[in-house]
């Protein structure tokens, strides 16, 4: 029997790539398994794609039919943007979905006096949609310019592992209000979903069928199917018949009004809501949301690279991805998705839960998004899953992404008081400042920035509503001003610097080279 190791013999050396992942970015499961995993990512992406229009469309005067069309359009464009990003952008296995970062400027546009005084609800919905489209089209130029000009690559030179830890971690932690608060809206289905998902994905992950860890790999599909059937049983048995309306909306499986309102076949197309309208104030407020989306996506791409067992994306690859994300926001504006795009954090978490970081799986999920957005009735069936079921899954997956951010601490010296100060202050302010803005807004019905200049209010309120954005401002400023010349090793710069350029690490060619031999025309910098 081997003797226990002595405390001084125990060490966990820093590792560039996470251990224990079954499939990395360019290795693929069998086609059958890939299709099932792709469908699982599609189901997960439905949560945000339905939640955002369900909140915004009624405020705009839209009916159930309008909501369904917006959901279909959002999913259709999500599929296109995901394919573009995985083929020509960062090439990381990331789903590009709708973003909550755009909520503040969009709600501000909805409450614009010139739109609220339109008496006809449907006309008000169309006019508001066109105003949002115009703002998205103009503001997309921020990411397009910063990305394709490589300006964001230059900015990333100021990022170090210690500066990125709070940003990446708060990409997950900052979404805490989408987790248990949503689950708690219907605890009788939310809590069982949370327990079943953790049990299948973690405690029963050793269960195999034909050498396939089926419960770990498909924990999301299995859990959602069981709990959805349970929720339908509760609905059919009349358990919610005499409950308050808000409880029925969150718990019942027949209160989404998506299936009855959805057309059998409908192909979304550009300018389907009419010609976009442009207002300088709307556009300026939306630019703040585009900037927030850029920062959140930067953290999300670095998390995705870890969970896909890839090296951190080189600066020019990151910039290329941001450029394509700008194209994605432009498409959002042209089609009328009602919100802009960002990297879907929950889908990144699912990479870690399934231990499959394959790019092909995400591309298949994009195919499902496009296919089911055209076949409206079938897509609406899956989209009618109650929100607390998604909230329970988010509790696990957002936490997993946040912990990936914390894993970057291994490349830094956490016995340094300087590093402890930067990490702690950036984390605390990254959580505390947005919480102050949320509480203030819920009580006063407007953000802390409340001047006569609406565009200025939207800009500041949007920036400080985002935890990763606040964390980046604080962490990068402190990291580049506090004893930075003498702290290169403590900050993790010797490890970080080799991933700055495409040729800095031999693995980059395997992970990030463009397909179809396109690198001939866009040589790596």
pLDDT in tens, 352-409: 999 999 999 999 999 999 999 998 777 778 878 899 999 999 999 999 999 999 999 9
Query: Which of these, 296, 274, 323, 326, lies nearest to 122 by C-alpha position?
Result: 274
pLDDT at 417 over 80: yes
Q: What is the mean pLDDT of residues 218-234?
A: 94
The answer on pLDDT for 224 being more than 90 is yes
474 — pLDDT class (breaks 50, 70, 90): very high
- At residue 262 the predicted structure's pLDDT band, cuts being 50, 70 and 90, is confident
Q: Pairing between strand 96-98 and 341-343?
A: antiparallel
Q: Which residues make beta-bridge pairs with 356? A: 23
The dihedral formed by the CA atoms of 151, 157, 161 and 167, expressed in degrees to the nearest 10 = -30
Give the mean pLDDT of 296-300: 95
Angle (CA) 79 84 89, round 5°: 135
| Averaged pLDDT, 322-343 | 96
Query: The tokens 């943007």 sit on which residue?
Result: 81
CA distances from 277 to 69, 132, 483 (A): 20, 8, 49
* Residue carrying the six token digits 């998390």: 303
- Contacts for 79-83 with beta carbons within 8 Å, 24 or more apart? 79/366, 79/367, 79/368, 79/369, 79/370, 79/373, 80/328, 80/331, 80/366, 80/370, 81/324, 81/325, 81/327, 81/328, 81/331, 81/332, 81/341, 82/362, 82/363, 82/365, 82/366, 82/369, 83/363, 83/366
466 pLDDT tier (thresholds 50, 70, 90) = very high
Token digits of residue 516: 């179809």
Kind plus residue range of the DSSP H or E element containing 99: none
Instruction: Measure Cα distances from 523 to 147, 174, 320, 520 in Å.
Output: 15, 36, 12, 6
- Of residues 27, 4, 105, the one with CA closest to residue 329: 105
Q: How many CB atoms lie within 10 A of CB 96?
A: 31
Q: In a 3-state reduction of DSSP, which class is residue 179?
A: coil
CA dihedral in degrees (324, 374, 339, 55; nearest 10)? -160
Output helix, strand, coil percentages for the chain, rounded to the nearest 5. 70, 0, 30
Across 262-288, b (16+ Cβ under 10 Å) vs e yields beeebebeeeebeebbebebbbbbbbb
- Whole-structure pTM value: 0.93
CA–centroid distance for 280 within its chain: 28
DSSP element (H, E) containing 297: helix 280-307
Looking at residue 521, its pLDDT comes to 63
Q: What whole-number distance in Å separates Cα of residue 45 and Cα of residue 256?
A: 17
Residue 2 has a pLDDT of 57
| Residues 299/167, Cβ–Cβ less than 8 Å | yes
Indicate the SS3 state at residue 60: coil
Give me the torsion for CA of 463, 109, 385, 369, rounded to 10°: -80
Residue 524 has pLDDT above 70, yes or no: no
Average pLDDT, the chain: 90
Half-sphere exposure (Cβ direction) of 443: Cα atoms closer than 13 Å: 7
Q: Where are the beta strands (DSSP E) in 428-509?
A: none
**Which two tokens mark 7?**
């405390």
Whose CA is closest to 464, among 174, 152, 181, 111? 174
Tell me, what's the pLDDT at 520?
A: 62
Res 20: pLDDT: 79
Tens-place pLDDT, residues 145-200: 999 999 999 998 889 999 999 999 999 999 999 999 999 999 999 999 999 999 99
User: Tens of pLDDT along 76-112?
Assistant: 999 999 999 999 999 999 999 999 999 999 999 999 9
Q: Tokens 């057309």 belong to which residue? A: 263
**Residue 249 to residue 257: CA distance in whole angstroms:** 10
Mean per-residue pLDDT, 424-444: 94
Asked if the model's pLDDT at residue 1 lies above 60, the reply is no
């Amino acid at each position: 029997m081997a003797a226990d190791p002595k405390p001084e013999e125990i060490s966990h050396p820093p590792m560039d790539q996470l251990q224990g992942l079954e499939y990395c970015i360019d290795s693929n499961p069998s086609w059958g398994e890939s299709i099932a995993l792709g469908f699982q990512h599609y189901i997960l992406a439905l949560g945000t794609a339905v939640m955002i229009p369900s909140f915004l469309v009624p405020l705009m005067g839209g009916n159930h039919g309008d909501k369904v069309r917006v959901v279909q359009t959002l999913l259709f464009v999500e599929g296109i943007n995901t394919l573009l990003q995985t083929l020509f952008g960062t090439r990381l296995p990331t789903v590009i979905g709708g973003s909550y970062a755009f909520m503040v400027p969009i709600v501000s546009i909805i409450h614009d006096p010139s739109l609220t005084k339109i008496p006809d609800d449907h006309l008000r919905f169309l006019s508001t949609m066109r105003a949002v489209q115009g703002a998205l089209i103009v503001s997309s130029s921020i990411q397009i310019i910063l990305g394709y000009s490589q300006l964001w690559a230059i900015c990333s030179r100021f990022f170090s592992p210690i500066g990125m830890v709070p940003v990446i971690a708060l990409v997950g932690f900052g979404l805490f209000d989408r987790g248990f608060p949503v689950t708690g809206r219907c605890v009788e289905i939310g809590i069982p979903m949370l327990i079943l998902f953790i049990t299948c994905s973690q405690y029963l992950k050793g269960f195999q069928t034909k050498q396939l860890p089926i419960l770990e790999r498909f924990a999301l599909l299995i859990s959602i199917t069981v709990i959805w059937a349970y929720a339908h049983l509760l609905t059919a048995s009349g358990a919610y018949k005499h409950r308050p309306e808000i409880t029925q909306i969150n718990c019942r499986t027949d209160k989404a009004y998506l299936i009855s309102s959805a057309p059998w076949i409908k192909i979304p197309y550009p300018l389907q809501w009419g010609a976009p309208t442009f207002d300088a104030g709307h556009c300026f407020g939306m630019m703040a949301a585009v900037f927030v989306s850029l920062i959140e996506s930067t953290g999300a791409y670095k998390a995705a690279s870890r969970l896909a067992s890839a090296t951190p994306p080189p600066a020019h690859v990151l910039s290329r991805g941001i450029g394509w994300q700008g194209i994605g926001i432009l498409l959002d504006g042209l089609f009328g998705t009602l919100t802009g795009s960002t990297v879907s954090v929950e889908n990144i978490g699912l990479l870690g839960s399934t231990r499959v970081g394959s790019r092909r799986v995400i591309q298949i999920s994009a195919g499902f998004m496009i296919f089911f957005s055209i076949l409206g009735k079938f897509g609406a069936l899956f989209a009618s899953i109650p929100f607390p079921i998604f909230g329970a899954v988010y509790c696990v997956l957002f936490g997993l992404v946040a912990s990936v951010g914390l894993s970057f601490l291994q490349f830094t010296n956490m016995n340094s008081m300087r590093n402890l100060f930067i990490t702690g202050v950036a984390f605390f302010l990254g959580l505390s400042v947005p919480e102050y803005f949320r509480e203030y807004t819920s009580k006063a019905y407007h953000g802390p920035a409340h001047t006569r200049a609406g565009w200025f209010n939207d800009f500041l309120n949007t920036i400080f509503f985002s935890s990763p954005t606040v964390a980046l401002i604080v962490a990068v400023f402190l990291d580049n001003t506090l004893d930075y010349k003498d702290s290169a090793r403590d900050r993790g710069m010797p490890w970080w610097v080799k991933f700055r350029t495409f040729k800095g690490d031999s693995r980059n060619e395997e992970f990030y080279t463009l397909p179809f031999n396109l690198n001939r025309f866009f040589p790596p910098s």
